[in-house]
Structure 1
Amino acid sequence: MTLPPLREVIAAHGLKATKALGQNFLLDEQLLDRIAAIPGSLADTAVLEVGPGPGGLTRALLRAGARVMAIEMDRRCLPALAELEQAFPGKLRVVEGDALTIDHDELMGEPYAVVANLPYNVGTVLLTRWLGGQEWPPRWRSLTLMFQQEVAERIVAKPASDAYGRLAVLAQWRSTAKLAMKVHRSAFTPPPKVMSAIVHIEPTAMPEGVSARVLERLTQAAFGQRRKMLRQSLKGTPGAAEAMDEVGIDPTRRAETVTIEEFVALARVLSGTT
C-alpha cells in the first residue's frame, strides 16, 4: 500500500503541532528512515514509540519491520495513526494516554526497544525513569531518543565539561550513551528555536554493591549545588564525609570534577551503610 505524503496526512486531518504538548513534526521520510536504522535491525522487534503525532517516525519503524506500540495523548492524531494500523495489519497498536502514567514494561510484555521523537516537555522525565530503578538489566534493549541538542550533550557529557552533570552520570554508570545524529531545526514543522540531536543508549553490566536509589540521591545532592564544594553540597547526605574519606575524594572538589567511577565508588560505600 502506498501511503500519502505526511504533509497531505497533516492537512487532511487538520493537524497542527501544539506548543502545549511540546510537538514538532518531522516530515522528511529519508531522515526518518535513518533514525529508524540507528538501533540496528528492527525486524520483528517490539518497539515502544512515545508521541508519534501524525506517524512519521512510526512509518519508518514499520517499514523497518518493527512491531510498534505507540502511546499518543493527542486525540487529534488518532485517526491518522488508525490509517497506519490498516496499512500495516497486526504491526501497530496505538494506546491513547499519557506515557508518564503508563507502565511501559507491563504494556509491552516482552523485551523492547524505545525509539521516539520525544515531546520536549517530557523527554528528560521519561529518560530518568527509563534509566532508574534497581532492576537491571532493564526490559528495554536500547533507547533511541530525540532531544534538544543541549539536553543530548548533557546526556553524553564527560567529567569536567560544562555539560557534565546528573544526567550524564545516570546515563553512563551502567549504560553506554552516544550522540548518534544531529537534526537541524529546519527539518521540523514548525521549526523549533533550537537544534535537536538523537542519543542512543544501551544497558551494560551494573556495578556490584551499588543501590541505584543511593546513586540517584547522591548525584541529585551533588549537582543540585554544582558550584559548591562537595563537603557543602553533600553535607545533608548521611555518611558522605566518611565515604569521601574512604574513597579518597577531596571534599573541596566540585561535583563537575568527579568522575562517574568515583560517584559509583561513593555510592557503593553509602549503599553498604544504609
Structure 2
Amino acid sequence: MVEPLRDVIARHGLQATKALGQNFILDRQLLARIAAIPGPLAGATVYEVGPGPGGLTRALLETGAKVIAVERDRRCVPVLAELESEFSERLTLISGDALEVDERAVAGDGAHIVANLPYNIGTALLLRWIGGPWPPWWSSLTLMFQREVAERIVARPDSEHYGRLSVAAQWRSSAKIAMTLHRSAFTPPPKVASAVVHIVPAEQPEGVSSQVLERLTAAAFGQRRKMLRSSLKAYPGALGAIEEVGIDPQRRAETVSVGEFVAVARLLS
C-alpha cells in the first residue's frame, strides 16, 4: 500500500515554505485526476517543475510516463530519491532552479509539461514556454495557477481578465481551464482558489512576428482604459495598421480580439 503523503511529509520533516511559493496537494485521487488531464501518458516524457514531496510525481509515474522533475528545494531531494529508486529508470531528478534549466536538452522534443507550479514563478515559466520558437518543444502544458491567473490565460475579449497574457496564450495555441480547486485542497491552504490550465499548441499564423505581437499588446494594454488612438500613438505605424485592418481607433484594447491583434501585428512585422 502506498504511504499517505501526509505521513511521507512528516517522516521527512517537510513544510511548505512561502518563500518558494509552495502549496502541497495531499489527496492522491485528486493528483491522479490532474495527471490524467493531458491524456494517456504511458511511454511519454513528462517534464515537472516543483514536485515538492512527490505527490504529483508519483501520480504521473503511475500512468507509465517517464518523468523529469526539477526541484529547487533541497529538503525535498531525499523523498524524491525514494521515488527514483522505486520507479527505477523512469524518474530523473534535477536539483536546481527551473528558470535556469535547458529544458529541451533534458526533456527532448514532444514532452508534456505537467506541474503544480510554485506561485512565485508560474507566470514567468508560462511566458517562457509559450513565447519561444514555434512549434514548441513541448506537446502540451498542464499547469496549476492561482484562479485569477488561470482566468487571464483563457479570457475572451470584453471581459475583465482579458489582456496581454490572454493574447500570448491564445494566438497560436488553445487554452482552457481543465479543473478548479478550492483552497482547502492544499497544505497549507493558499489565500485564493486555484485552477489547472491545459494548453495545446496550434499552427502559428503566417507572417506574424511574436516579438512584434508582444510589443503591440504591451503598448495597447499598458494603458488599457485609454482608447487605442492614445495607447498606440507612440508605436510607429500602429495607428495606420489598425485602421487598415478596420479597427476603430476609439476602441479600447480589451475589445480587440486575438485575431484582430494578429492581423495588426502581421502588418507591422
Task: Output the TM-score relative to the length of structure 1.
Answer: 0.97
Q: CA deviation at 1:244?
A: 1.1
Q: CA deviation at 1:40?
A: 0.2
Q: Which residue of structure 1 lines up, in the alignment, with residue 152 of structure 2?
A: 154
For 1:72 and 1:221, the matched residues in 2 are separated by 36
Q: 1:185 aligns with which of 176, 183, 186?
A: 183
Q: Secondary structure at the match of 1:4?
A: coil
Q: CA deviation at 1:220?
A: 1.2
Aligned length: 269
| Superposed structure 1 runs of 4+ greater than 2 Å apart | none
Q: Secondary structure at the match of 1:118?
A: coil
CA contact 2:117–2:143 (8 Å) conserved in 1: yes
CA contact 1:46–1:68 (8 Å) conserved in 2: yes
Q: Which residue of structure 2 lines up, in the alignment, with residue 230 of structure 1?
A: 228
CA contact 2:47–2:111 (8 Å) conserved in 1: yes
For 2:19 and 2:236, the matched residues in 1 are separated by 40
Are positions 1:269 and 2:247 aligned together?
no
* Cα displacement string for residues 99-132 of structure 1 (whole angstroms, at most 9, x for unaligned residues): 1111211221232000000000010111111110
Are positions 1:70 and 2:69 aligned together?
yes
Ranges in structure 2 where 5+ consecutive residues have no aligned partner: none
CA contact 1:46–1:110 (8 Å) conserved in 2: no
CA contact 2:142–2:198 (8 Å) conserved in 1: yes
* Cα displacement string for residues 16-37 of structure 1 (whole angstroms, at most 9, x for unaligned residues): 0000000000000000000000
Q: Which residue of structure 1 lines up, in the alignment, with residue 45 of structure 2?
A: 46
Letter in 2 for 1:209: G
Q: Which residue of structure 2 lines up, in the alignment, with residue 245 of structure 1?
A: 243
Q: Secondary structure at the match of 2:99?
A: coil
Q: 2:256 aligns with which of 255, 258, 261?
A: 258
Q: Secondary structure at the match of 1:137?
A: coil
Q: CA RMSD, aligned part only?
A: 0.8
Q: CA deviation at 1:206?
A: 0.7
For 1:12 and 1:235, the matched residues in 2 are separated by 60
Q: Which residue of structure 1 lines up, in the alignment, with residue 26 of structure 2?
A: 27
Letter in 2 for 1:222: A
Q: CA deviation at 1:235?
A: 1.7
Q: Secondary structure at the match of 1:90?
A: helix
Task: Output the TM-score relative to the length of structure 2.
Answer: 0.98
Q: Which residue of structure 1 lines up, in the alignment, with residue 102 of structure 2?
A: 103
Are positions 1:129 and 2:159 aligned together?
no
* Cα displacement string for residues 73-105 of structure 1 (whole angstroms, at most 9, x for unaligned residues): 000000000000011000100101111111211
For 2:244 and 2:109, the matched residues in 1 are separated by 42
Letter in 2 for 1:268: R
Identity of aligned residues (%): 69
For 2:85 and 2:220, the matched residues in 1 are separated by 50
Letter in 2 for 1:241: L
Q: CA deviation at 1:179?
A: 0.5
